[in-house]
Structure 1
Amino acid sequence: MMRLVKHGLMFGNLYEVSAPSMVARYNRALEHLTGKRTALEAFHVDISGFSPEIGDELDDIHYLNPHGCNRQFILLSIEQKTAPLLNARFSTSRSILKRFIEDNEEQLFALSIRDCVVGELVNSIYSITSPQDLFYIRAIEVEADTVGGHSEAGDELADKIEAFMSEPDGWWDDVLIADMIELSKHTGDIIRTPLAISSKSYEQGNFHTSHFGGLYIFRDVKETACIASRRMDIVVDLPVKHLFSLEDRYEVADFLNRNQLVEPILDAGGSVAKSLLKQKLDFIVIDTAASQGEDLSDVSRRDLRALRRKYHQQLPAEYHALNDIVHRLELKDDKLWVEPENAAYFYLLRSRNHRDKNLVNMLLSELTPLDFRQLFICHKDAFYGHYRSWSEAKKNYAVQFLAEEYMVDKVGTRLELFGPEAAMAEEDQADYGFGRNMGPWGAIPGEQDGEDGVQ
């Protein structure tokens, strides 16, 4: 895995903590939340304050998320908002944390100058023992304050200032004035620099969770479903219409199309679609050649053609089905579409431009694991799982390709693969089967706290 780390493909874009004062602050916060401390003098943290180095030191990668459903966090700086979220149990968690930081940026900046801000993503349950528990999670409340309680003290001081200004005898209340002076020593000037952190509830609608081997929960769509990454026996009744696994190709395809969640890559246009499909063909050839022990160092386009010829008989059904589509594209054949039993079917899809775009592309990446680039972009945990089983030749090729082709132009690559991102105005609109922002009784007043499911 060190190859991934060295090329910035794993633990990339983390926030560095190396100043002694910052390490000391982190230790106070860590002890406050977990009763533990770190002996490390420097480390890196993600958006939630989790450090992979400290996770190794404590032999506990879930030290900030012990029960897997109410993630705790440590904010040393608002700069953490650009960092990834490691070991995410829910696909919505990073998005909620980022929005919380952005909603309270001024207050968090002022508070983090004094101390660490610590908190928790709180929902209505404290442990997950059954898939049914996941459906009790609807809204995530973010609770936060400094280790020293500056925000709470600020609220208390604000109440006392209000009493001082409004009560007739406030000016002569020596005890009240003394309390205000003492609190102000702790909080500073809350008139010029308010310390109150707004408490907001963030909706968790459709999401992926790593619990129970991986589940995709779609409950804010017309035909609801729970889709498991692997076939499993769920003995409890779940409040969804459909329950199936990724192995149920027809059912998954029907669900995605009935809810208008996907579109054909072919809709991107002839030349763009052909380029994308040819790239997927290359990845499949690489997978087969690597399994046959080929040296894939510095593979050129000419080398790939030679490998296709050499291993034509060993190439999987996905390759031959996709190759047939590419040939039809080149011949401008109108009959390009295939049915779900065709091995190429899910390789021909991408998410439509809606608020759950990232979640749907994540689902599709699990259905098309031979496209290692999409798997890396959309579902890193699944990518790392597959990576561990690859041959050295494929590991080297994938790392080199991602570092040289994807990392240098992430935005351009994502635009080509998945199309333009939904505009904010469009993202904030929801469709529950009655039309955008419409419910069974008419227009929905507002969706400001909706969650877009971004990883």
Structure 2
Amino acid sequence: MHRLIKRGLMFGNLIEVASPVLVERYNRALKHLTGKTTGLSDFHIDVSGYSPEIGDELGDHLYLNHNGVNRQFILLTTEQKTAPLLNAKFSTSRDILRGFITENERQLFALTARDAVAGELVNSVFSVTDPVRLFDIRKVVIEADTTEGTLRDADRLGQMVDRFKGEEDAWFDDVLIADMITVAKRTGDVTRNPVQLKHMEFQQDNFWTAHFGGLYMFRGVDHPALIARGDKNSLGELPITYTFDFGDRNKIAKFLDYNDLVEPIVKARGIDAAAILRQKMDFIVVDAAQESGLDLSGATRRDIRALARGNADRLPEEYHGLRKLLDWAENGAPWPKIKSDHPAYFYTLRAADTPLRDLVNMLLAELAPKDVRQLFICHKEAFYAAYAGWSETKKSYVADFLDREYQVDKAGARAALFGHDAPMDAPAAVRVVEPDLVQRVGPWGAVRR
């Protein structure tokens, strides 16, 4: 992984912790949450406060994420909102943490000026040893406080102030007044400078989880389903009508279509579809070259396309399907019939403009894994796992490409690939599904009993 680390493609944008004061605060929070401390004098942390160096030191890279659920966090600075989330077990965790920091930035800035803030993403389960437990996860609530209990004390002081103002004889209650003075020394004047974090809850109807080989949960759609990367039969009986795995290409395609979650790249507005298709084709050529043992060191786009022309008969069906689609887009050739069982099918799609677009692009990245750029952008865990198994030639080419083409303008690359313009007027023709048929057999066919 050294190529990725060197180019900032792995462990990039982490927050450095090097001052003795911050290290001491981190250790207090770490002790508070886990009972452990670090002996390191400098390290780097992600948005949750997890440090890969401390993970190595402790021999436990889940030291803030026991059992892979209810992720704990340590905030030393609000700048952590710009950092990635490493070792993610749920796709929603980073957005939750970033949203929490953003919504409470002023309060957290004041709190972290004196102490670390430690907390936890709390849901209704503490272990997911059985897939059925995932269905008990409905919402995540954030619990947080400083290691010195500033928020707890502020709440207590607020209650005492209300009592002091509201009770007729409170002026003569020496114990109450003494307690107020003692707590106020730790919290400051909460009447003028209230210290309180917003209560935040996050619904968990749709998410990806790394558990059980990788699962995509879609409950908040018209036609719910669970999609497994591995064998669906190994999951047992689940409280959802439809369960698919990556072998069910036709059913996954229908699921995405019936829920209006995808759109063809060539019909999307505001993007250069031809350029995107050409790049996908180049990645497929690179993958085929790896399997043939060809050296791609220093290869340019012209070299890759020359290689494709010279070896067209040996390229996989994904390449030829995209080539026909490109020919339609650029030259007016006949529309290619690329059905869902065609290897190129999921390469031709991107997520529609819905609240689930990031999750859908994540799924599409795994269904079209030879598009290494989309895999890296949309599903880093899957990218790193795939990268570890590539040849040195492909590792070098992909690392160089991402450094050259993506790192220089991340926002621009994402907008060019996945951005959406203002919605078009309603299309002239809309496909209508017979409701009675859907109610009888469901959109993916009858359920086998």
Q: Same fold, TM exceeding 0.5?
A: yes
| Counterpart amino acid of residue 254 in structure 2 | D
The answer as to 2:345 corresponding to 1:348 is no
Relative to 1, partners in 2 of residues 1:147 and 1:269: Cα closer, same or farther, differing over 3 Å? closer
Could you give the per-residue CA deviations for residues 125-158 of structure 1, whole angstroms, max 9, x where no partner exists?
1111211101111111111111110100000011
Q: Give 2:48's aligned residue.
A: 48
Q: Quick check: 2:285–2:304 contact (8 Å CA) kept in 1?
A: yes
* In 1, Cα distance between equivalents of 2:272 and 2:302: 21
Relative to 1, partners in 2 of residues 1:122 and 1:270: Cα closer, same or farther, differing over 3 Å? closer
SS in 2 for 1:127: coil
1:279 positional shift: 0.6
Q: Give 1:398's aligned residue.
A: 398
Q: Give 1:408's aligned residue.
A: 408
| Counterpart amino acid of residue 59 in structure 2 | D
1:315 positional shift: 1.4
Q: Quick check: 2:284–2:370 contact (8 Å CA) kept in 1?
A: yes
Q: Give 1:358's aligned residue.
A: 358
Could you give the per-residue CA deviations for residues 376-435 of structure 1, whole angstroms, max 9, x where no partner exists?
000000000110111111111101110110111111111111123899xxxxxxxxxxxx
The answer as to 2:112 corresponding to 1:98 is no
Q: Give 1:122's aligned residue.
A: 122
* In 2, Cα distance between equivalents of 1:69 and 1:286: 37
The answer as to 2:81 corresponding to 1:81 is yes
Q: Give 2:427's aligned residue.
A: none
Q: Quick check: 1:124–1:137 contact (8 Å CA) kept in 2?
A: yes
1:172 positional shift: 1.8
Could you give the per-residue CA deviations for residues 206-241 of structure 1, whole angstroms, max 9, x where no partner exists?
000000000000000011100001223245432322
| Counterpart amino acid of residue 398 in structure 2 | A
Q: Which moved more, 1:210-219 or 1:318-327?
A: 318-327
Q: Give 2:24's aligned residue.
A: 24
1:336 positional shift: 3.8
The answer as to 2:197 corresponding to 1:194 is no
1:262 positional shift: 0.3
* In 1, Cα distance between equivalents of 2:235 and 2:395: 39
Could you give the per-residue CA deviations for residues 296-349 of structure 1, whole angstroms, max 9, x where no partner exists?
232223312321133323311111111122223233135245211222111000
Q: Give 2:300's aligned residue.
A: 300
Q: Give 1:107's aligned residue.
A: 107
Matches within 5 A, 1:254-403: 254-268=254-268, 272-333=272-333, 335-403=335-403
Q: Give 2:205's aligned residue.
A: 205
How many residue pairs get aligned? The number is 424
Q: Quick check: 1:18–1:42 contact (8 Å CA) kept in 2?
A: yes
* In 2, Cα distance between equivalents of 1:305 and 1:34: 54
Relative to 1, partners in 2 of residues 1:271 and 1:237: Cα closer, same or farther, differing over 3 Å? closer
| Counterpart amino acid of residue 20 in structure 1 | P
The answer as to 2:167 corresponding to 1:148 is no
Q: Which moved more, 1:160-169 or 1:362-371?
A: 160-169
Q: Quick check: 1:355–1:422 contact (8 Å CA) kept in 2?
A: no
The answer as to 2:227 corresponding to 1:218 is no
* In 2, Cα distance between equivalents of 1:328 and 1:141: 50
* In 1, Cα distance between equivalents of 2:42 and 2:193: 31
Tell me which of the two structures has the higher relative contact order, counting C-alpha pairs closer than 8 angstroms and 6 or more residues apart: 1
Q: Quick check: 2:266–2:329 contact (8 Å CA) kept in 1?
A: no
Superposition RMSD in Å: 1.8
- TM-score scaled by structure 1? 0.90
| Counterpart amino acid of residue 24 in structure 1 | E
- TM-score scaled by structure 2? 0.91
Aligned sequence identity (%): 54
* In 2, Cα distance between equivalents of 1:142 and 1:269: 38
Relative to 1, partners in 2 of residues 1:40 and 1:388: Cα closer, same or farther, differing over 3 Å? same
Q: Give 1:139's aligned residue.
A: 139
Q: Which moved more, 1:270-279 or 1:380-389?
A: 270-279
| Counterpart amino acid of residue 392 in structure 1 | E
1:101 positional shift: 1.3
* In 2, Cα distance between equivalents of 1:270 and 1:362: 21
SS in 1 for 2:221: coil
Q: Quick check: 2:269–2:420 contact (8 Å CA) kept in 1?
A: no
* In 2, Cα distance between equivalents of 1:361 and 1:337: 23
* In 2, Cα distance between equivalents of 1:184 and 1:158: 10
Q: Quick check: 1:110–1:193 contact (8 Å CA) kept in 2?
A: no
Q: Quick check: 2:321–2:338 contact (8 Å CA) kept in 1?
A: no
* In 1, Cα distance between equivalents of 2:312 and 2:31: 59
Relative to 1, partners in 2 of residues 1:50 and 1:132: Cα closer, same or farther, differing over 3 Å? same
* In 1, Cα distance between equivalents of 2:306 and 2:235: 51
* In 1, Cα distance between equivalents of 2:374 and 2:335: 26
* In 1, Cα distance between equivalents of 2:306 and 2:334: 30
* In 2, Cα distance between equivalents of 1:401 and 1:302: 14
SS in 2 for 1:67: helix
Relative to 1, partners in 2 of residues 1:305 and 1:196: Cα closer, same or farther, differing over 3 Å? closer
Q: Quick check: 1:16–1:44 contact (8 Å CA) kept in 2?
A: yes
1:260 positional shift: 0.5
Could you give the per-residue CA deviations for residues 234-290 of structure 1, whole angstroms, max 9, x where no partner exists?
454323221010121101001000111000001136982111101101111111223
Could you give the per-residue CA deviations for residues 22-79 of structure 1, whole angstroms, max 9, x where no partner exists?
0011011111111111111111101110001100111111000111111111011111
Relative to 1, partners in 2 of residues 1:258 and 1:13: Cα closer, same or farther, differing over 3 Å? same
Q: Quick check: 1:150–1:186 contact (8 Å CA) kept in 2?
A: yes
* In 2, Cα distance between equivalents of 1:315 and 1:289: 9
1:115 positional shift: 0.8
Relative to 1, partners in 2 of residues 1:41 and 1:353: Cα closer, same or farther, differing over 3 Å? same
Structure 1: give runs of 5+ residues left out of the alignment.
Answer: 424-455
Q: Give 1:427's aligned residue.
A: none
Q: Quick check: 1:289–1:311 contact (8 Å CA) kept in 2?
A: no
Q: Which moved more, 1:106-115 or 1:215-224?
A: 106-115
* In 1, Cα distance between equivalents of 2:42 and 2:223: 49
* In 1, Cα distance between equivalents of 2:279 and 2:305: 13
* In 1, Cα distance between equivalents of 2:160 and 2:271: 68
The answer as to 2:161 corresponding to 1:172 is no
Relative to 1, partners in 2 of residues 1:299 and 1:220: Cα closer, same or farther, differing over 3 Å? same
